[in-house]
């Protein structure tokens, strides 16, 4: 696989349209569903373009092993895992350096919004499964995880939407897809707290100028806000299904 | 997720003078306090709650009870109505036994202590245990107990509700099945209106057939 920079591919055409038909400021189609798993305390399923992500939350519950307990607050344990069939070539299953990193940054981003002080000594376990990957899975995973946390009824200050912006073919683009990520020049995933505009996750891979970077952040924050509305909508839908069904039956 | 003015109550927090919800739920304004009634989440014990738990472990001088909270609830031998010698705990309550308890105290670090020393608190023999979300408990009880009374009357079961969403049912097997189904129905459709009526219809449909069967048996 060729990773960065060099390609003859035209990623953005002369009209500013990308290979999947989007403009630079458009994110991929998003589908969010809350409460999809019965046995977990909270869960969410997220599709962002071709990414398919499942997140499940347990807790707060007693923390095992005991030495990880924090007597002042709950800890968040996150496990990000890619399925063997999630990418083109079979991914060797199990933990690797990349998934450890993503688990860590996700847990840290969530720790910032969850009111962990309410549950000393407890543990909140977040499991993120990538079923299908197409660039931007850490953002999709974090987006799903925060919906799952809210679905689990865990007290938190806000939901965290996450989205990437980047540079490909010399253009600053929102929500890179696989081709743009692989053959592009930079990728900047961010996650924000929409109520305060704080950034809880910021990474960068590749090179851009300061101006391009500022523009990318601006785009990504805008994308996050749109995603935030969809997250809230998914949570509301979870609790209105019953009454809607009832309305339907009344009409018929 | 948004709030305005007023005083911040349960499950809310303040952000730049604005009240915001800390959890997913329904806002409730009483006098001038805004609170949020949770739609889901774990049961968090409060002093005075009556709960049903299952013995998880026995120790030298206590039992560990699972009351569906984020923390285990130790029941000390001094909080049971029997005189238990050290090490004899398993003669009175064993792993898997169900007990009805009262939450004595939850301290600031969320350590729970429970008691079995009040009237009505005891070991639950026979019957079965079902679990629902603790947020739906009030729905199962209904307005001044109307729902639960109706289920009890129609199914002839003894039912004890724990505030933690654990429910103990005892009665004839078929009736227990019917009561279980009814409670699960309430749990699934808690948001729907006119639930008492529908549960009643459901139970009336479930029960008469069974009564006929019983008569035939006799």
CATH number (domain holding residue A38)? 3.30.230.70
| Residue of A153, A234, A239 to mutate when probing chain B, most B C-beta within 10 A | A153
- A246–B193 C-beta distance less than 8 A: yes
Search chain B and give the residue with CA nearest A71. Answer: B109
* Domain extent at residue A58: 30-87+94-240
Identify the band that residue B4 occupies on the pLDDT scale cut at 50, 70 and 90: very low
- A158–B20 C-beta distance less than 8 A: yes
| pLDDT reading at B1 higher than 80 | no
Q: Is B198 on the interface with A (CB under 8 A)?
A: no
Residue A141 sits at φ, ψ, to 5 deg, of -65, -45
- Mean pLDDT (whole number) for B59-65: 92
In angstroms, the CA A163 to CA A174 distance is: 8
In terms of Cβ atoms closer than 10 Å to its own Cβ (0-12, 13-18, 19+), residue A231 is buried
Residue from B121, B129, B128, B52 nearest B82 by CA: B121
Residue A247 lies in a domain: no
Angle between helices A137-151 and A97-113 (to 10 degrees): 40
Residue A123 lies in a domain: yes
Residue from B34, B8, B22 nearest A195 by CA: B22
| pLDDT reading at A234 higher than 70 | yes
Measured in whole angstroms, the distance separating CA A20 from the mean position of its chain's CA atoms is 21
Residue A45 lies in a domain: yes
Search chain A and give the residue with CA nearest B23. Answer: A155
- Mean pLDDT (whole number) for A106-117: 95
Residues 11-30 of chain B whose Cβ lies under 8 A from any Cβ of chain A: 11, 13, 15, 20, 22-25
Pairing of strands A51-62, A42-48: antiparallel
Q: What is the pLDDT of residue B12?
A: 78
| pLDDT reading at B187 higher than 90 | no
In eight-state DSSP terms, residue B209 is: H
Residue A251 lies in a domain: no
3 state SS of A142: helix
How high is the mean pLDDT of chain A?
90
Identify the band that residue B193 occupies on the pLDDT scale cut at 50, 70 and 90: confident
Search chain B and give the residue with CA nearest A124. Answer: B70
In angstroms, the CA B151 to CA A251 distance is: 29
What are chain B's domains? 7-38 (no CATH), 50-124 (2.40.50.140), 128-217 (3.30.1370.10)
- A235–B24 C-beta distance less than 8 A: yes
Identify the band that residue A247 occupies on the pLDDT scale cut at 50, 70 and 90: very low
Chain A residues with CB-CB distance to B under 8 A?
41-42, 59-62, 71, 115, 119-122, 150-159, 195-196, 232, 235, 239-240, 242-243, 246
| pLDDT reading at B108 higher than 50 | yes
Total domain count for chain A? 1
CB nearest to B70's CB, from A62, A159, A243: A62
In angstroms, the CA B180 to CA B174 distance is: 10
Residue A200 lies in a domain: yes
- B13–A157 C-beta distance less than 8 A: yes
- Is pTM beyond 0.90 here? no
Residue from A25, A128, A120 nearest A70 by CA: A120
Quote the tokens at residue B39.
């739609």
Residue from A34, A243, A32 nearest A153 by CA: A34
Search chain A and give the residue with CA nearest B45. Answer: A119
Q: What is the pLDDT of residue B202?
A: 86
Q: What is the pLDDT of residue B188?
A: 84
Which of A36-50, A83-97, B120-134 shows the lowest per-residue confidence on average (mean pLDDT)? Answer: B120-134
Q: What is the pLDDT of residue A4?
A: 52
Residue from A183, A221, A176 nearest A202 by CA: A221
Measured in whole angstroms, the distance separating CA A147 from the mean position of its chain's CA atoms is 10
Residue B46 to residues B64, B105, B107: CA-CA distances in angstroms? Answer: 18, 7, 10
In percent, how much of chain A has pLDDT > 90? Answer: 82
Q: What is the pLDDT of residue A5?
A: 54
Q: Is B107 on the interface with A (CB under 8 A)?
A: no
> Which residues in A63-213 belong to E strands, given as ranges?
75-82, 122-132, 162-168, 171-174, 186-193, 198-202, 205-206
| Residue of A73, A155, A237 to mutate when probing chain B, most B C-beta within 10 A | A155
Residue from B147, B106, B134 nearest B37 by CA: B134
- Mean pLDDT (whole number) for A58-80: 93
Q: What is the pLDDT of residue B209?
A: 53
CB nearest to B20's CB, from A42, A195, A246: A195
| pLDDT reading at A8 higher than 80 | no
| pLDDT reading at B117 higher than 70 | yes
Measured between CA atoms, how close is A40 to chain B, in angstroms? 11
Q: What is the pLDDT of residue B213?
A: 43
Residue A19 lies in a domain: no
Residue A169 lies in a domain: yes
Search chain A and give the residue with CA nearest B10. Answer: A155
Quote the tokens at residue A27.
């994110």
Spatial CB neighbours of A181, under 8 Å, sequence gap ≥ 6: A135, A136, A166, A168, A187
Residue from A90, A87, A79 nearest A132 by CA: A87
CB A30 within 8 A of CB A144: no
- B193–A151 C-beta distance less than 8 A: no
Residue A22 lies in a domain: no
- Strand-pair partners of B75: B63
């Amino acid at each position: 696989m060729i990773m960065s920079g060099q390609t003859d591919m035209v990623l953005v055409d002369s009209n500013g349209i990308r290979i999947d038909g989007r403009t630079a400021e458009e994110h991929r189609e998003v589908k969010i569903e809350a409460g999809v798993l019965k046995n977990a305390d909270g869960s969410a399923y997220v599709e962002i373009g071709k990414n398919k992500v499942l997140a499940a939350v347990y807790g707060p519950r007693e923390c095992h092993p005991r030495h990880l307990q924090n007597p002042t607050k709950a800890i968040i344990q996150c496990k990000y895992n890619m399925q063997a069939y999630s990418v083109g070539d079979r991914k060797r299953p199990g933990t690797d350096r990349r998934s450890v990193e993503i688990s860590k940054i996700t847990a840290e981003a969530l720790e910032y919004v969850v009111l962990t002080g309410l549950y000393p000594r407890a543990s909140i376990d977040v499991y993120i499964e990538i079923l299908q990957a197409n660039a931007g899975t850490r953002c999709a995973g974090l987006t799903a995880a925060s919906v799952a946390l809210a679905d689990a009824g865990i007290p938190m200050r806000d939901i965290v939407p996450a989205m990437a912006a980047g540079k490909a073919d010399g253009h600053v683009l929102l929500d890179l897809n696989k081709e743009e990520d692989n053959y592009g020049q930079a990728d900047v995933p961010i996650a924000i707290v929409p109520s305060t505009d704080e950034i809880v996750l910021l990474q960068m891979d590749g090179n851009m100028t300061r101006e391009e970077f500022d523009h990318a952040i601006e785009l990504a924050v805008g994308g996050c806000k749109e995603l935030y509305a969809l997250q809230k909508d998914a949570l509301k839908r979870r609790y209105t299904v019953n009454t809607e069904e009832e309305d339907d039956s009344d009409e018929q | 997720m948004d709030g305005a003015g007023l005083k911040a109550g349960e499950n809310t927090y303040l952000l730049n003078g604005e009240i915001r919800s800390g959890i997913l739920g329904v806002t409730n304004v009483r006098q001038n306090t805004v609170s949020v009634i949770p739609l889901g989440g774990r049961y968090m014990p409060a002093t005075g709650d009556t709960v049903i738990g299952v013995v998880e472990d026995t120790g030298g001088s206590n039992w560990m009870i699972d009351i569906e909270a984020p923390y285990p609830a130790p029941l000390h031998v001094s909080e049971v109505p029997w005189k238990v010698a050290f090490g004899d705990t398993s003669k009175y309550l064993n792993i898997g036994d169900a007990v009805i308890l009262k939450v004595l105290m939850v301290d600031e670090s969320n350590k729970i202590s429970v008691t079995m020393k009040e009237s009505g608190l005891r070991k639950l023999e026979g019957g079965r245990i079902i679990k629902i979300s603790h947020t739906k408990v009030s729905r199962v009880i209904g307005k001044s107990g109307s729902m639960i009374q109706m289920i009890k009357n129609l199914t002839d079961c003894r039912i004890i509700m724990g505030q933690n969403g654990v429910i103990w049912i005892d009665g004839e097997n078929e009736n227990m099945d019917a009561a279980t189904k009814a409670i699960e129905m309430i749990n699934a459709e808690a948001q729907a209106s006119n639930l008492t009526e529908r549960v009643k219809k459901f139970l009336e449909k479930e029960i008469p057939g069974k009564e006929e069967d019983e008569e035939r048996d006799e």
